[in-house]
Chain A
Amino acid sequence: MNFFTTNIILVENTLVVILLALSIQIPLRLGVFSFAAIGYYAIGAYGSAILMLEFGWGSWEAMIVATLAATAIAFLLGLVLARLTGLYLGMATIAFDLILVVLVLNGGSLTGGPVGVFGVLGSIHLWHLALAVVIVLGLLTFTERGKLARRFDAVREDPQLASSMGINVFSYRRLSFVISGVLGALAGSFAVNLRSTVAPESIGFGLVVLGLTVIIVGGQGSWVGAVIGASIFVWLPKFLEFVGDWEEVIYGIIVVLAAIFIPGGIVGLFVEAKHRRQSKRNKEVIELAATRLAGSGEGASDANSQVEGALSD
């Protein structure tokens, strides 16, 4: 009990970061390099704060409206940026996030300018957040099994193949913007409710970096990665207390090492290990079947097909 109460802030942060990480992860799983989730977080946080402080709304109503607003903007963004892919899409979405920061900085008394918003007291508690996260993880599990998981993979790895298999790639990509909007806004809204404050520096590029590093270190393919990554980065400072001001350096080094050596994240390590075990089991099967298929010892292609092969490029 004592552990929990002394670390309640870290637990809150972990849950919020999980939602944020998921809001970036979903588009990435579909091959959409959108980092706009940080912007949706900002809309969720500032939206809730303003509705509650300026207009006296309750926590839940404010959360719902702020999330709806973020989702609508996310949908529009998905349409406007539909033709962009890869780094270009990434940059456009980061630009979107940073534009929001500038807007917030210049928002005068409404957004509190550089100082931000204080005193947002709501009726949302930690267990609400925990419940929300559990529900989201449960729903996401559906997207990590069977048909939906396969389709996600196809959309990410080979959109043309996906198309030929009846998958509307554009729809899936638009959907990823919408889901990202919902999750990002919820993360921001919960955050401002539980911390009672939000400021420009907590919604800026630093948040983009946090989200990305959580996913790279944890793993891009599954919510388990988001959970692991979030846990590591929220709790790391506590365990690194002894390193004092070298914390930033250690952080940076961990990120680089992860990017180089475990691009699939921690979850990726487990998946690869599983694949290697399976490969070993499959080795015999492959060798047996390969000899069967090679037919009557005609292993090599004959001259004609070699010529065709050479011409086929």
Chain B
Amino acid sequence: MVQDLLNSLTLGSIYLLFALGMALVWGTIGILNFAHGSIFMFATFVAYLVTERVALPLPAVLIVASLTGAVLSVAVQVLAFQPIMRRAKNQHSAELQILIGGIGIAAVPIALAQRATLSNPFGLGQSTFQVQIYEIGDVRVSNIMIIILLAGLILGGGVAWWVKASRQGLALRAIGVNDEVASIMGINKQRLALSTMALGGALAGLAGALLTYYLSAITPESGDALLIKAFAAIVLGGLGSIAGVIAGSLILALSETMVLTYTSGTWVNAVSFGLIFLILVIRPQGIFGRKEVVRT
């Protein structure tokens, strides 16, 4: 029971780190970045390539992954999303184009990683960090789990605070509420979009490295699987709310762990899909979301 809780919290923290980046960009700039999963995976892949040559300690690996994630996200924004938004006729068509552009660009890193690894899993075993498992009673805790939980707590709380309290956070929320007014008030949407994408990408890269240590390996396809779960977490918690993403990630992880414990592994994915569908039908704005977000 406690073990399940611990596992859920760990999983939930990973979901949170991954979903935060996506939620930040989606809830404010309005971009649904389908390449986020690909970035998550490729940032980790780059970290893997680096550790294959140089046995780095944990902090260095995490930094490499985060930086790569940030760079990749910015690249996607500059190469794909910005051009699309510049040319778009209206909100409606821009959304679809960004969706598809994201899907298209996501294919590139995945294909590259698949070629290099022949679709085999890759891990960060060559770094100096060793996973250690401690037993407290009949609960097994590993050092990586503790690190993940801390990361989730600190970064989750940190981002939530930042959005609420900082000037950039305020600017971001202003864009989310009213784009035009925000720009009249001098908020540089373009620059803020870039830094938000960078932050999101960094969080994704970090999540990727941490997850890889936790599971001991991931595959080139791992990112896409997470993508849908991130949707579920965000939709459940409510778009536009950081507290929502946190709540959604934890609830999702808990539900999945329970389903895994009491049924077989093949139904686990149904949790995220089912949650998405149910929430959108019953309460589209999610737990903490604003009601006006979904218009008829």
Contact = CB atoms under 8 A, between A and B. Distances in A.
A85 B295 contact: yes
Interface residues of B, number: 46
Interface stretch (A188-196, A242-250, A274-282): A242-250
A57 interface: no
A216 interface: yes
Contacts of B88: 263
Interface in A229-272: 245-246, 248-249, 251-261, 263
Given A84-B294, A91-B280, A249 B108 contact: yes
Interface in A40-95: 80-81, 83-88, 90-92, 94-95
Contacts of A260: 80, 83-84, 87, 97, 101
B188 interface: no
A259 B97 contact: yes
Given A253-B104, A263-B87, A92 B280 contact: yes
A213 interface: yes
Contact of B274 (A81, A99, A106): A99
A94 B235 CA distance: 13
B80 A88 contact: no
By secondary structure, the A interface counts as: helix
Interface string B81-109: 00110011100110111111101111110
A290 interface: no
B228 interface: yes
Contact of A105 (B104, B106, B266): B266
B162 interface: no
B256 interface: no
A256 B273 contact: no
A248 B266 contact: no
B95 A86 contact: yes
A255 to B, nearest CB: 3
A275 to B, nearest CB: 13
A115 interface: no
Contacts of B117: none
B110 A248 contact: yes
B295 A102 contact: no
Given A33-B96, A98-B228, A83 B294 contact: yes
B115 interface: yes
Given A83-B284, A249-B112, A263 B276 contact: no
Contact of A96 (B98, B108, B224, B277): B277
Contact of A95 (B105, B266, B276): B276
A26 interface: no
A209 interface: yes
A249 B116 CA distance: 13
B100 A88 contact: no
A94 to B, nearest CB: 8
B103 A212 contact: yes
B132 interface: no
Nearest to B264: A106
Contacts of B105: 252, 256
Contacts of A105: 266
B267 A92 contact: no
A164 to B, nearest CB: 16
A213 B273 contact: no
A106 B274 CA distance: 15
A88 B88 CA distance: 20
A253 B35 CA distance: 13
A205 interface: yes
A249 B111 contact: yes
A252 B296 contact: no
A122 interface: no
Given A92-B277, A263-B88, A252 B111 contact: yes
Q: Considering residues B95, B267, B281, which has the most beta carbons from chain A within 10 angstroms of its beta carbon?
A: B281
A102 B101 CA distance: 27
Given A105-B266, A252-B107, A88 B114 contact: no
B202 interface: no
A248 B111 contact: yes
A85 B93 CA distance: 13
A116 interface: no
Interface in B204-247: 224, 228, 231, 235
A98 B115 contact: no
A225 interface: no
A83 B279 CA distance: 13
Nearest to A263: B97
Contact of B270 (A31, A99, A254, A258): A99
Given A85-B296, A102-B273, A256-B80, 6 more contacts: A88-B235, A95-B273, A102-B270, A106-B267, A245-B115, A252-B105
Leading 8 A-B pairs by shortest Cβ distance:
A252-B107, A255-B104, A259-B101, A248-B111, A256-B104, A95-B276, A92-B280, A95-B277
9 contacts: A31-B92, A87-B32, A92-B276, A92-B277, A96-B273, A106-B266, A255-B103, A259-B80, A263-B97
